[in-house]
């Protein structure tokens, strides 16, 4: 009679406890509808990144700096434009020449001057080129800032997906342990000698609940950071576990490293430093320009009224520097800074390519580990089901064997989730170091 009751309880437990593959959040129909409405996982990831870029203060500051650099070009180019100025004087005036004195209690004078630089040895042209390269560097700095925001947003989105899947796995483990605990409660009600198994099941249930709570806490923390970056309206993370698995070919990634915004920015800064060095060298060349000016003055009251005066003149100015001891030192300093900027660019490119090669290998290794874990998971699933059936129906396994098989299975599932998301995180770094993850998403 007792054996029949144990068998019936075990049979009921088997029906209820073998089915633990239902998602914890909602039914498939309810969960899939919002994700489908938001597009593919890559589309949702691009939407998230776009929102983060639009909200970023760092991107806004970089945009303003790029716009300011464009205005600096206009300032430098105005060096050869026509310059105009006017002066106005008002006040008493007195003069004495020999024994003759003259003055006015109120004298009004005014002058207008027009001038233009005709030739300065090409220095202004080099200054314009310098400002142009700095403006290009500022524009590329804006793109680089956008890329940094995009990369950090993708990393947060993948972490959100990681902890969400971990929470789902632990939720399934909690349901499985709760099911086994309920089955054991029925068994212990008729066989008090198996109370130790019930204690073991409850301990495993509590451990699974603790792991689930930790995963949910980490998920909430990541979502808080993600909302601060991308806003409160977050798209569904459904499908992000495989959204960034497209690994670029290593030769292509290494070649694209030279086209990245950061390296291009360093190249523009190096070219700007070279143009500045040339402008310093050309500052010692002769300068040719002209000046057109006219003035008029009148006064009233005083010792002797000065006559009303007016004058006009046109002058061609030739400025020939004869000795400028500091020019050679300034030129040499500027040339060395230009070479240093070029060496810094080359060093950054070399370091970038080395990191791409290392990260690419780590990505491949993580994907291989995920594939191996997937194979092990299939065997682990069969093993835990066989172990549970043998414990329930045949009594050939102890509950400790069942718990060990269950713990190993869910641990492998969490490892698989981590390996898959580690591979995506590393792959996103490869894209960011080559042509950019934001460019890839677009």
Question: Is a pLDDT exceeding 50 seen at residue 98?
Answer: yes
Is 130 part of any domain?
A: no
Q: What pLDDT, on the 0 to 100 scale, is given for residue 100? A: 61
Is 227 found in the same domain as 147? Answer: yes
Is 293 found in the same domain as 273? Answer: no
pLDDT in tens, 150-165: 999 999 999 999 999 9
Query: Which two three-digit tokens encode residue 55?
Result: 């909200």
Is 240 found in the same domain as 102? Answer: no
pLDDT in tens, 380-414: 888 888 888 887 775 667 777 888 888 889 999 99
Work out how many domains the chain is built from and give that number: 2
Q: Pick from 320, 344, 374: which residue ends a domain?
A: 320
Mean pLDDT of the chain: 82
Most confident of 11-20, 37-46, 135-144: 135-144
Instruction: Give dist(CA 266, CA 34) in Å, integer.
Output: 43
Instruction: Give dist(CA 370, CA 422) in Å, integer.
Output: 9
Residue 52's pLDDT band (cuts 50, 70, 90) = very high
Q: Pick from 297, 320, 343: which residue ends a domain?
A: 320
Question: Is a pLDDT exceeding 70 seen at residue 244?
Answer: yes
Compare 358 and 115 and report the one with higher pLDDT: 358
Is 292 found in the same domain as 373? Answer: no
Most confident of 39-43, 106-110, 162-166, 303-307: 162-166
pLDDT in tens, 19-49: 444 433 333 333 344 444 567 888 888 889 9
CATH number at residue 210: 1.20.1600.10
Is 160 part of any domain?
A: yes
Is 389 found in the same domain as 276? Answer: yes
Residue 304's pLDDT band (cuts 50, 70, 90) = low
Is 344 found in the same domain as 301? Answer: no
Is 293 found in the same domain as 279? Answer: no
Is 236 found in the same domain as 142? Answer: yes
Q: What pLDDT, on the 0 to 100 scale, is given for residue 197? A: 77
Q: What pLDDT, on the 0 to 100 scale, is given for residue 76? A: 85
Is 128 part of any domain?
A: no
In contact, 359 and 426? CB cutoff 8 Å: yes
Compare 330 and 340 and report the one with higher pLDDT: 340
Residue 7's pLDDT band (cuts 50, 70, 90) = very low
Is 74 found in the same domain as 195? Answer: yes
Instruction: Give dist(CA 350, CA 358) in Å, integer.
Output: 13
Is 425 found in the same domain as 373? Answer: yes
Is 306 found in the same domain as 269? Answer: no
Q: What pLDDT, on the 0 to 100 scale, is given for residue 305? A: 57
Is 399 found in the same domain as 254? Answer: yes
Question: Is a pLDDT exceeding 50 seen at residue 306?
Answer: yes
Is 435 part of any domain?
A: yes
Parent domain of 238: 2-81+135-284+334-441
Instruction: Give dist(CA 29, CA 142) in Å, integer.
Output: 42
Is 430 part of any domain?
A: yes
């Amino acid at each position: 009679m007792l054996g029949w009751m144990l068998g019936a309880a075990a049979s009921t437990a088997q029906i209820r406890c073998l089915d633990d593959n239902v998602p914890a959040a909602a039914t498939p129909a309810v969960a899939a509808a919002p994700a489908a409405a938001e597009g593919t996982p890559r589309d949702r990831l691009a939407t998230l990144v776009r929102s983060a870029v639009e909200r970023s203060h760092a991107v806004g500051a970089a945009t303003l700096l790029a716009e300011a650099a464009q205005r600096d070009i206009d300032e430098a180019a105005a060096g050869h434009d026509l310059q105009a100025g006017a002066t106005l004087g008002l006040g008493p005036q007195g003069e004495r020449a020999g024994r003759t004195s003259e003055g006015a209690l109120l004298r009004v004078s005014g002058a207008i001057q027009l001038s233009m630089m005709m030739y300065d040895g090409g220095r202004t042209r080099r200054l314009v080129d310098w400002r142009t390269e700095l403006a290009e560097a500022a524009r590329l700095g804006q793109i680089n800032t956008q890329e940094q925001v995009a990369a950090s947003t993708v990393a947060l989105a993948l972490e959100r997906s990681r902890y969400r899947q971990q929470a789902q796995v632990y939720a399934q483990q909690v349901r499985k342990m709760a099911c086994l605990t309920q089955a054991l409660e029925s068994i212990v009600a008729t066989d008090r000698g198996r109370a130790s198994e019930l204690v073991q099941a409850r301990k495993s249930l509590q451990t699974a609940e603790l792991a689930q709570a930790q995963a949910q806490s980490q998920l909430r923390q990541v979502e808080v950071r993600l909302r601060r970056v991308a806003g409160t309206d977050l798209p569904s993370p459904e499908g992000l576990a495989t959204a960034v698995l497209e690994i670029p070919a290593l030769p292509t990634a290494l070649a694209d490293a030279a086209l990245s915004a950061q390296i291009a920015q360093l190249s523009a800064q190096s070219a700007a430093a070279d143009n500045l060095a040339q402008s310093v060298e050309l500052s010692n060349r002769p300068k040719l320009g002209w000046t057109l000016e006219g003035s008029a003055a009148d006064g009233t009251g005083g010792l002797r009224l000065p006559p009303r005066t007016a004058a006009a003149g046109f002058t061609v100015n030739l400025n020939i520097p004869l000795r400028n001891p500091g020019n050679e030192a300034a030129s040499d300093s500027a040339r060395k800074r230009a070479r240093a900027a070029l060496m810094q660019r080359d060093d950054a490119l070399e370091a970038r390519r080395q990191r791409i090669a290392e990260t690419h290998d780590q990505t491949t290794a993580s994907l291989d580990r995920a594939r191996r874990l997937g194979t092990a998971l299939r065997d682990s699933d069969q093993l835990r089901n066989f172990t549970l059936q043998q414990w329930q129906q045949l009594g050939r396994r102890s509950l400790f064997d069942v718990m060990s098989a269950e713990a190993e299975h869910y641990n492998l599932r969490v490892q698989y989730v981590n390996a898959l998301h580690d591979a995506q995180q590393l792959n996103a770094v490869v894209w960011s170091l080559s042509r950019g993850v934001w460019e890839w998403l677009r």
